[in-house]
Structure 1
């Protein structure tokens, strides 16, 4: 059966979503630092930490945190001129940000959720270095809502307000470097009920939630500002949490591939049972590869390392079986080895290869008492790493005998996933004692206008076309558009500048990201007041993008982009017409199109196109 033939209802597919969306607030969730993202080279200093798991109030240790801590790593943090003691975990957090709380309540309204009477901040243990404190602060804000999809309603179980993790900058064998600019940005986490029954419904639900979030006008936009986690299981499989789906368009593929992976693992379990398969004890087999021509193995041995192996009885041909696009059961084993510092594994389903000979493969089989129906997996690395990695491979192989393991996996760019850690348990959460609880009051929180409603209003109220209305409503400049229109800017002028002009400039490699709201507002005001013709807007924006320290007025003056008077425009047109007098006499008004372009070029955006057209027609008619 291929993945396209899967009957998701028959397989018992159950899925749910967790949407994490950064909020566009002025300050972070527990301090007054700005929420702007910085470049790593802007860091003014750095410091290092080692993190270890802590016990819950009941004295329990979370399995996921314990496994994470087995990999001894040093964490380096890049601090900036705006970094404060709260971000460094050298000062207690401040009170919950009110702007973030109000935005979370707006989102809750849009999904018909019930705010809690009292919101308590909790600590969630995280020891992967993404938070300097070793935990993430999270607050339940609302419960019990729903959204509609074409395949029925999907329940919304909870909405939490959380602090964003630090941005991973670089990872080496010794540790990870994080930037503190992202740490503490407020985000909402929205968890659905397990009501999703198909990949298509998962995508539609995510799109609906995304639209509701953007309707507030108070969420950050761009790559990395929204992340989707997907929980997937089939009846004979297990619940798997897939973290970090960056692109919403990948969700349906992620669900399809996870269903396929679990179905293939179930098939492998059945075959292993028929073969009476088992997993032997790991052992060292360094002597098999003395003098090997394999670059990977030889490199490990020349550095004083070892080769370890585990016999997989009855696994022949199954370790190399594909369970997802370009991923095999052996890839699953390799993921676990990598968690312990190894570069990966070799196994006999793919050997001889990579410089390993037939003779070495046979010697390996003999060394671990593996027969022709058995497989062998090996790790070549520094001795301590090789030993812990092969133990992890053996443990995962034993799980393959039992079924699909419950686990947390990471999303890959190609729609597949990789093993990260066990599923977290309740032991990772405990109260935050440094932040007092708050009592959310939704009574003063207005319900935002949906983006779909904005599209209709822009057409009716502003006379924009449907396409332009959708571009503005769903675009990154929606809030700015509404602000400038409220200040008296023509809606069509504002919409075309923000959606069409900026897009065209970006395609021409103009650094439009350098433009600020003050730049855009100033240019639009100049055009509205008649100090800049509409045709001059692209040129002035280009100048400001290259020289953002200038004001729109100064940039226009330096570039000669001010609005020309009618006499100056007519004088330029007369010069163009006289220069092309022969063409005018011969073609008459048919010469208009060519001369119009020449006139606009000569005026360099200093005159409105309608005025140039009118005066050019007059001059041609005089001579025709």
Structure 2
């Protein structure tokens, strides 16, 4: 899709960044924040969720649409799952560690903390929370970050509980895991100050850097999510949920601008054609004896075929509005919400086993002419009717232009329909949690990652590249802690950023290594119980059998430090074995023999000591 003139189109965009905090316990209970494997679940239970009315007696449109799809929600519970997570006990008070971290983040964006933080309930009936709502509290407002295209305002910062982790679809609904439910996260919302895809990416990267500067946020896939709000002047505000990768944000904005521009163009053309949407009809008789596998499968199961004529839509339903997505795809997304596999439409037929004769008969059945299109759904009777009505409703909004809605991000940078935009009717006070009065005066302002890079170079004499790797890496908090405890900064940095990477490339399961493993290995190296050269071998041993302590693994692998005499004996043995080479080459034999000596010691001797003794032995014989 070609690049657009974003100023001319009136692009307005904003971000919502959701970042999990690395706290010891969850936001409203004392359960740990560690993720579990589904196989570790000790029991399950089920829930059916329904929307509730707000204090004003209103029901949120997004919640109402979710509730129209009858689903059973199954939850995997663990030995750490508590009654709060099951919604069988009121939530506890707001976690103090999470609140302090949120205030640190607010400082970094020059935000103003609220005088009193009140917890609210946000209605969510998609099963991602056992209670049917998510708890959220406003912590700070009115901040700002800088980008190369100007300042971007920060509207608000909220402290929220993370949703349950979706495991899989089931025959009756959805299965969720409760290990993630309740992990504290901050939601940071920018003002609609972003005017280009590039600025959206830069703003997200800046916020990400500020979050990581605290050293108190979780790292890894799924721990940070970006939502993007996009609109153009003739379009509408669209909220795009669940952008997993920062690198996708500019493509998401670019493709959404293109989608809205194309929908505006479609609206104008439909208006010229005086287009309209007809009545939903049953056209099962048209496809009796059809060779289409999809349609025949539905009919053989007692299903039906429903259709809606789209007058004046010929050639438009199949028009591309985003890469590999068409207006027909939008109609199909709405139909799928009601259990259908999708739709067929005449812009793509005959195909899929549907013959030209059947297309002609279909057009005749619904009164569609050559300028018109027809969309059909083949499924169980109830599903087919609900799905084609949803598709017809979406076709009707095409006459108006761009609908306000919530969309989901796809891996290819495009989006899909999820639900209508939520409104204020889904928020109401949480009466089980007392309000708190944030006190930012005792919260230290974190050092920025950019400042850390400079300090690591100046204070620890790390190279620029290694300093940046450590500062921006997930092990930065551990690096700072072990260096403060007296561990050599170069050893710590190279181990965390180079050695672990090399071991991972060699298929060593470094994900099994815990913080305690790494701390113990560093301590052994610092006290001389383990030569620096033995660190990779010991980490490998621990990764392979993580239940052992560092001392046990070192002893089992014979990785303890050797005394000077033992090292000299090994060096002498290597030199004598290569006596002819030494006599012929003298000190030039050093390089080759050094590797052989280190191999003989198997990580039990420091390289400097081996080097010194090898030089001495060569000089004796030269």
Q: Does 1:325 align with 2:323?
A: yes
Supply the distance in 1 between the matched residues of 2:137 and 2:517 (Cα, whole angstroms): 38
RMSD: 0.9
**2:14 — aligned with what?**
16
Aligned pairs for 1:499-578 (under 5 A) are 499-578=497-576
**Which segment is superposed worse, 564-573 or 138-147?**
564-573
Give the CA deviation at 1:582. Answer: 2.5
- Deviation per CA, 1:501-524: give whole Å up to 9, x if none: 111111111111111111111111
Aligned pairs for 1:149-164 (under 5 A) are 149-164=147-162
**2:164 — aligned with what?**
166
**1:57 — aligned with what?**
55
Aligned pairs for 1:475-514 (under 5 A) are 475-514=473-512
**Which segment is superposed worse, 562-571 or 116-125?**
562-571
Supply the distance in 2 between the matched residues of 1:539 and 1:422 (Cα, whole angstroms): 55
**Which segment is superposed worse, 513-522 or 152-161?**
513-522
**1:269 — aligned with what?**
267
**1:3 — aligned with what?**
2
**Pick aligned residue for 1:608 from 581, 606, 609:** 606
Specify every segment of 5 or more residues in structure 1 that has no aligned partner in the other structure, as ranges. none
Aligned pairs for 1:102-501 (under 5 A) are 102-501=100-499
Give the CA deviation at 1:115. Answer: 0.8
CA contact (8 A) 1:19 1:190 kept: yes
Supply the distance in 2 between the matched residues of 1:284 and 1:589 (Cα, whole angstroms): 93
Using structure 1 for the length normalisation, give the TM-score.
0.99
Q: Does 1:93 align with 2:88?
A: no
SS of residue paired to 2:399: helix
Give the CA deviation at 1:581. Answer: 2.2
Give the CA deviation at 1:394. Answer: 0.3
Supply the distance in 1 between the matched residues of 2:215 and 2:49 (Cα, whole angstroms): 37
SS of residue paired to 2:517: helix
CA contact (8 A) 1:3 1:256 kept: no
Give the CA deviation at 1:597. Answer: 1.4
Supply the distance in 1 between the matched residues of 2:365 and 2:310 (Cα, whole angstroms): 13
**Which segment is superposed worse, 591-600 or 330-339?**
591-600
Give the CA deviation at 1:590. Answer: 2.6
Supply the distance in 1 between the matched residues of 2:551 and 2:541 (Cα, whole angstroms): 11
Supply the distance in 2 between the matched residues of 1:621 and 1:290 (Cα, whole angstroms): 97
Specify every segment of 5 or more residues in structure 2 that has no aligned partner in the other structure, as ranges. none
Supply the distance in 1 between the matched residues of 2:552 and 2:609 (Cα, whole angstroms): 25
SS of residue paired to 1:402: coil
SS of residue paired to 1:505: helix
- Deviation per CA, 1:81-107: give whole Å up to 9, x if none: 000000000000011111111111111
Supply the distance in 2 between the matched residues of 1:358 and 1:205 (Cα, whole angstroms): 52
Supply the distance in 1 between the matched residues of 2:8 and 2:243 (Cα, whole angstroms): 26
**1:78 — aligned with what?**
76
- Deviation per CA, 1:28-69: give whole Å up to 9, x if none: 000010000000000000001100000000100100000010
- Deviation per CA, 1:149-171: give whole Å up to 9, x if none: 11100001111000000000001
**Which segment is superposed worse, 78-87 or 508-517?**
508-517
CA contact (8 A) 1:515 1:544 kept: yes
Change (3 A) 1:239 1:279: same
Supply the distance in 1 between the matched residues of 2:27 and 2:358 (Cα, whole angstroms): 58
CA contact (8 A) 1:121 1:437 kept: yes
Supply the distance in 2 between the matched residues of 1:553 and 1:371 (Cα, whole angstroms): 82
Give the CA deviation at 1:173. Answer: 4.7
Give the CA deviation at 1:580. Answer: 2.0
Supply the distance in 1 between the matched residues of 2:590 and 2:460 (Cα, whole angstroms): 33
Using structure 2 for the length normalisation, give the TM-score.
0.99
CA contact (8 A) 1:173 1:341 kept: no
Give the CA deviation at 1:619. Answer: 2.0
